[in-house]
């Protein structure tokens, strides 16, 4: 039986803007029993690791190991997406974690990702764009890499404008918490609606 979530939060942003940090904050707010963080890059990295005999655990963390393979992995992922734009979204939402009431998609990168969730969960999907200044991103370890930071995997949503929420993640965690409140309230409303 396929579980239908009560709410889906689709997060997008450039590298080092804090997508994973925000996803984890939201998961803590709603509890791990109720909320799952689903990463579209997880199935991509897992399949890429299998096909290339690589260490999946190292590809999933933020180590230099992942950076070594990033360009090739991006190209491989683009080929898979060109064959089927829904491929990684379907994989990400078919695991055991998808049995939770709230899905947080922590790494939406293309319009096809957003279109997938809006198509299958139209009244349950909320979109969030996270931005941060170049200086703040560099403080967090960002270094521009040609072929990565100018590729579709980083720029595919630059011109997308239909965000439900946009936040700037340059400040303290208190400020970030305040900016997330409208989103949290709307997720709470969706949870209530699903119970009725």
Asked if the structure places residue 152 within a domain, the reply is yes
Residue 171 structural domain: 7-40+99-195
pLDDT higher than 90, residue 67:
no
| pLDDT reported for residue 23 | 96
**100 is an annotated ligand-binding site residue:** no
Asked if the structure places residue 160 within a domain, the reply is yes
Query: Long-range contact list for 86-93, CB < 8 A, 24+ apart?
Result: 86/112, 86/116, 88/40, 88/41, 88/43, 88/44, 88/113, 89/40, 89/113, 89/116, 89/117, 91/43, 91/47, 92/38, 92/39, 92/40, 92/42, 92/43, 93/38
Total-model pTM: 0.87
Asked if the structure places residue 117 within a domain, the reply is yes
**141 is an annotated ligand-binding site residue:** no
Q: Cβ(144)–Cβ(134) under 8 Å?
A: no
**127 is an annotated ligand-binding site residue:** no
- Sort strands 125-131 and 7-13 into parallel, antiparallel or unpaired: parallel
Asked if the structure places residue 65 within a domain, the reply is no
Element (H or E) spanning 106, and its range? strand 102-108
For the domain that residue 34 is a member of, what is the CATH number?
Answer: 3.40.50.300
Q: Mean pLDDT, the chain, as a whole number?
A: 90
Asked if the structure places residue 181 within a domain, the reply is yes
**129 is an annotated ligand-binding site residue:** no
| pLDDT reported for residue 62 | 65
**195 is an annotated ligand-binding site residue:** no
**140 is an annotated ligand-binding site residue:** yes
Per-residue model confidence as pLDDT tens digits over 132-188 = 999 999 999 999 988 888 888 888 899 999 999 999 999 877 889 899 999 999 999
Say how many domains are in the chain.
Answer: 1
**93 is an annotated ligand-binding site residue:** no
Q: How confident is the model at residue 61 (pLDDT cuts 50, 70, 90)?
A: confident
**17 is an annotated ligand-binding site residue:** yes
| pLDDT reported for residue 1 | 41
């Amino acid at each position: 039986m396929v579980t239908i979530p009560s709410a889906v939060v689709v997060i997008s942003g450039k590298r080092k803007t804090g997508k994973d940090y925000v996803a984890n904050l939201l998961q803590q707010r709603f509890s791990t029993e109720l909320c799952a963080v689903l990463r579209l890059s997880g199935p991509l990295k897992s399949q890429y690791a299998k096909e290339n005999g690589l260490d999946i655990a190292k590809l999933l963390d933020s180590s230099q190991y992942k950076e070594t393979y990033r360009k090739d992995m991006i190209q491989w992922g683009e080929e898979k997406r060109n064959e089927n734009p829904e491929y990684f979204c379907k994989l990400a939402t078919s695991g055991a974690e998808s049995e939770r009431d709230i899905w947080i998609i922590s790494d939406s990168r293309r319009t096809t990702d957003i279109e997938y969730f809006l198509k299958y969960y139209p009244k349950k999907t909320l979109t969030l764009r996270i931005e941060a200044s170049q200086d703040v991103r560099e403080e967090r370890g960002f270094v521009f890499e040609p072929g990565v930071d100018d590729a579709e995997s980083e720029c595919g949503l630059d011109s997308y404008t239909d965000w439900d929420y946009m936040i700037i993640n340059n400040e303290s965690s208190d400020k970030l918490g305040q900016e997330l409140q409208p989103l949290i309230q709307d997720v709470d409303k969706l949870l209530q609606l699903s119970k009725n």
